[in-house]
Amino acid sequence: MTWGNTTDRYGSLSIGMHWLMLLLMIAVYAAIELHDIAPKGSTLRANLKTSHFMLGLGVLALVTVRLATRAFAGPAPRIEPPIPVWQHRLAVAMHVVLYVFMIGMPLLGWFAVSAKGKPILFFGMQLPALIGQDKALYDSLKEIHKTIGTVGYYLIGLHTTAALFHHYVMRDNTLLRILPTQRGSSSRSQHRSFHTLDNNTGQ
């Protein structure tokens, strides 16, 4: 597998960042969900909240790198068979929303922790506060962050559902382009070959 994208498949750089981003997102949500059920005042609860924040900043760092390297990875592989224009536009819109979400949520968290006046830790480093301490602003930012976080479940769910829909219903290579293994791509090629052979035989 090459590091850059080809005409029918994403390269190792894009694939690696995509699945690493997914793992980070799972970890971010897992940390905050476990935090909510951990005993109040416990060290575990505090550590989970800190982990949630640091992992969130990890998402911000990775998405920044991902955007910076998109030009080097090359254009996105084509979808075969081609999808309708409206589906393509919807997919582009969904990706834009996801990128805004992955950038905006960590920044909201950073602003919230700054407004609370707490140290902003990131894996051994202490980052600068973005704003001064403000209790009322912290409460507002916290609620906004929590609400958008809930919306994030639906965004990720829609993104996953769309990929599965394309794979199992539309039967195109949307999902296969980003899978870490090429087995699916080979199987799909064989399926198309047999399908073409059947069509030719039936003529």
Q: Is the pLDDT of residue 119 over 70?
A: yes
Query: Per-residue pLDDT averaged across 148-177, rounded?
Result: 96
Phi, psi dihedral angles at 49 (to 5 degrees): -65, -40
Band of pLDDT at residue 182, cut at 50, 70 and 90: low
64: Cβ contacts below 8 Å, ≥ 6 apart: 103
- Average the pLDDT over 154-180 and give the result: 95
Q: What is the pLDDT of residue 199?
A: 42
pLDDT above 60 (res 191): no
Range name among 12-21, 95-104, 142-151, 182-191 with the lowest pLDDT average: 182-191
Whether the Cβ atoms of residue 115 and residue 141 lie closer than 8 Å to each other? yes
Mean pLDDT rounded to a whole number for the chain? 89
Q: What is the DSSP letter of 199?
A: H
Pairing of strands 125-127, 120-122: antiparallel
Q: Between 72 and 132, whose confidence is greater?
A: 132
- Asked if residue 77 lies in contact with residue 185, where contact means CB atoms within 8 angstroms, the answer is no
The stretch 171-182 carries a mean pLDDT of: 91
Look at residue 183 and tell me whether its pLDDT is greater than 90.
no
More confident residue, 124 or 161: 161
At 2 the pLDDT is: 87
Write out pLDDT tens, residues 4-46.
Answer: 999 989 999 999 999 999 999 999 999 999 999 999 999 999 9
End-to-end CA distance of the chain: 38
Burial class (CB in 10 A: 0-12, 13-18, 19+), 25: buried
Residue among 34, 24, 20 at smallest CA distance from 54: 24
In the chain, which ranges are continuous DSSP H helix?
A: 12-37, 43-73, 85-116, 135-165, 183-201
Contact between residue 59 and residue 151 where contact means Cβ atoms under 8 Å apart: no
Contact yes or no for 115/131 (Cβ under 8 A): yes
Q: How confident is the model at residue 150 (pLDDT cuts 50, 70, 90)?
A: very high
In the block, residue with structure tokens 């084509």: 78
Residue whose structure tokens are 């912290």: 138
**Cα distance between residue 15 and residue 21, in whole Å:** 10
Above 70 in pLDDT, residue 158? yes
Q: What is the pLDDT of residue 69?
A: 87
- In order of their start, the domains of the chain are 12-194 (1.20.950)
Instruction: Evaluate if residue 1 carries a pLDDT over 80.
Output: no
**93 Cβ contact list (under 8 Å, min separation 6):** none
Evaluate if residue 198 carries a pLDDT over 60: no
